[in-house]
Amino acid sequence: MNIADTQPVGCNAWEIGVNTTEMGAMRAKRRGLTIIEMVMVVVIIGIMARITLPKFNIDKYRADGAGRLALILLQEAQRNAITRQSNVIVSFDNVINRFRVVQDYNNNDTINTTDWVQYRNMADGAVFSKPTWSGAIGADGTIPTAAYAGSLLQTIAGLPTVIFRRDGSASTNLTLFVTTRASVSTEYREIIVTASTGRADLYKFNGSGWIQMNK
């Protein structure tokens, strides 16, 4: 029942024996957590987050992104060669760290004025680089000799080149290494292109071996 309903007209709360000081204190106690309690909650949440959440390694994700971008570019070149029925010339520019992609409309394996030429940058901070750590071995089991290598790798307009044919095949087997930090082995990504099928596969080095990233 509300005090105001039973309080005589013209009477104050203190006149009928109501302790307003105690009522105010009770209301204050119900207002919520104290500062100390809030601090304790925040500390506990922080501890639980450190225990349950894995350490976020931004460098690893940057390296993954660089490898995937290079893989997509090579896969796109093969797909365009098939769908447009004209060879696609992909060259590697290790000075500027970019790809040169040419739609070879007359299929003569050279760059003509009528061919469509574009330059595709690598991911930010990514470079072509041969693995430099001691005892480095590629995903194919061979010792890397350069950032890119292939038994039939061609040089077209001054750049090492692989050509994707109209039937989907590639002009050479290819190994291509990209990284975002040449001094860190776990940030190397390798792309292997199989000449007979033109298939490109992406691998990453985890410190002890290579793991395939695409299936």
What pLDDT is attached to residue 40? 86
pTM above 0.85, yes or no: no
Let me know: does 130 contact 142? Beta carbons within 8 Å. no
Confidence at residue 46, expressed as pLDDT on a 0 to 100 scale: 79
At 62-77, the pLDDT tens digits run 999 999 999 999 999 9
Same domain flag for 98 and 68: yes
Q: Are residues 94 and 7 in the same domain?
A: no
Whole-angstrom distance, CA of residue 193 vs CA of residue 172: 8
Domain termination site, one of 52, 76, 93: 52
pLDDT score at 14: 44
The answer on 200 and 106 residing in a single domain is yes
Q: Say what the pLDDT of residue 41 is.
A: 83
pLDDT confidence of residue 195: 97
Taking the CA atoms of residue 119, residue 120, residue 124 and residue 130 in that order, the dihedral angle to the nearest 10 degrees is -90
Same domain, yes or no, for 119 and 173?
yes
Per-residue pLDDT of 95-136, as tens digits, reads 999 999 999 999 999 999 999 999 999 998 999 999 989 889
Q: How far apart are the first and last CA of the chain?
A: 73
Residues of the chain with pLDDT under 70: 1-33, 49, 52-57
Is the domain of 16 the same as that of 99? no
Name the residue among 97, 98, 80, 151 with its Cα closest to residue 89: 80
Same domain, residue pair 123 and 155 = yes
pLDDT, residue 24, reads 55
166 in the same domain as 99:
yes
Where in the sequence is the domain holding 139, given as residue range(s)? Answer: 58-212
pLDDT computed for residue 26 by the predictor: 53
Question: What is the total count of domains within the chain?
Answer: 2
One domain, residues 34 and 117: no
- Same domain membership, residue 203 and residue 128: yes
Is residue 107 helix, strand or coil?
coil
Per-residue confidence (pLDDT) for residue 3, from 0 to 100: 46
| Residue 70, domain CATH | 3.55.40.10
In the three-class reduction of DSSP (H, G, I as helix; E, B as strand; rest coil), residue 7 is classed as coil
Residues 28 and 121 occupy one common structural domain = no
The per-residue pLDDT for 52 is 61
129 and 170 fall within a common domain: yes
Are residue 86 and residue 176 in the same domain, yes or no?
A: yes
